[in-house]
Amino acid sequence: MHPNALLELCAELVDSLLLFDKPADALVSDFFRAHKALGQRERHTLAETAYAVLRKRPLLQHLAQSGRGPMARRLAILAWAGNEAFLRGALKEEELQWLKQVEKVDRSKLPEKLRHNLPDWLVDPLRQRLGDEQFWQLADAVNESAPLDLRVNLLKAKREDVQAALKAKGFESAPTPYSPWGLRLDGKPALQKLDVFTSGQVEVQDEGSQLLSLLTEAKRGEMVVDFCAGAGGKTLALGASMRNTGRLYAFDVSGHRLDKLKPRLARSGLSNVYPVQISNERDDRIKRLAGKIDRVLVDAPCSGLGTLRRNPDLKWRQTPQGVQELHDKQLAILNSASRLLKPGGRLVYATCSLLDAENEAVAREFADAHPDFTLLPAQDVLVHAQVETGQAAELSEGGFLRLWPHRHRSDGFFAAVWERNK
């Protein structure tokens, strides 16, 4: 493809993303479906450039003011994530001169909001929580792209064997530092056609998400519920922990999301999973299981702000009002899910949010209203689940699991673990 044609496509994609009327990943998928002739490298350049615009939108819009031509084209030039020489082949002489000028700007001297690239309403709570130094570390971390984490399906393979199989195909990986099931690869390699993937030996799953399944500690022969299963990444991890025995219910209000679980389930070799579409958290099918379940994982609907490395559009699409509505919904779901547990059963509440409002505040409100549940310190649970004592301490804050992109190189996750009193 001619360099200018690819740059124009980039500008078109950036334009559609900046409307913020749909999740960025869905818009990128739609765009690629409409442009089937694009090769792997072109798709990579398009997606990474567009995501770079979303990550640093305030900075790039500020720098773009000095240029000429359509704004989306200027943004795509500034955020270009493909081959440099290829880009230069697409630029007019005046654009090349402008780019040279922009490259001389000392970004460290710019106002704070052009350096952290976060909305004002998000800055204050994060700064209060982390202090100045760590706030800037977090801002830098969430403006980078994430590595690719895989979870090895221990029903089908050992971690070191999968690592060797990936290496044989030219993909270098390293064991995840905390999860005993994970492998981490840099960049965004396409693995879907590899044997380890098609045979169900691995699934794409962030290390933080793996640790939520680890905290649940689902055992052989138990009755377990993944309350907000979505596309089922944690469901599959729980099923493998149960060694494909017992019964594992995957609840979700979205049939569309549960449909995405089916091919993954087929690859995984699990036969103990029962996907169930529910109408809401008070569905009759939930009531019928009340008091019968050993373990419930509630990975609640949340702002997703812990996943900004992967979903940078969320910081521009979320609002403080939206977070408050989520807080109320999270509490309602948690209250409903807690009724499923038998005495001695375990409840895990989790989000992929960075905000106290969706995390500690929900956990505290639930605990105040449920004296029949006892908080289990996350650190102790992780040690019991075979995480080294020092590492378990690194992952815990105030009795909860707390993962931060700048500290742990995972997405931002929170989890609280309770046991129903016997």
Catalytic residues: 352
Q: CA-CA distance, 193 to 232, in Å (whole number)?
A: 20
Token output for 377: 């310190």
Could you tell me the two tokens for 176?
A: 């995840």
- At 79, list the tokens: 């955020």
CB of 378 closer than 8 Å to CB of 414: no
Nearest to 299 by CA among 263, 339, 250: 250
CA separation, residue 155 to residues 145, 152, 169, 237, 248 (Å): 31, 9, 22, 10, 16
Which token pair is 38? 């694009």
DSSP secondary structure letters along 176-199: -SS-TTEEEESS----TTSHHHHT
Nearest residue to 301 (alpha-carbon basis) of 275, 283, 280, 274: 280
Q: Is the four-CA dihedral 384, 389, 395, 398 of positive or negative sign?
A: positive
Give the distance between the most distant pair of CA atoms in the chain: 75
Spatial separation of the C-alpha atoms in residues 214 and 387, rounded to whole Å: 9
CA-based nearest residue to 238, from 209, 267, 262:
209
The burial of 75, by beta-carbon neighbours within 10 Å (0-12 exposed, 13-18 middle, 19 or more buried), is given as: buried
* Tokens, residue 138: 């977090």
Beta strands in 227-287 (DSSP E): 247-252, 273-277
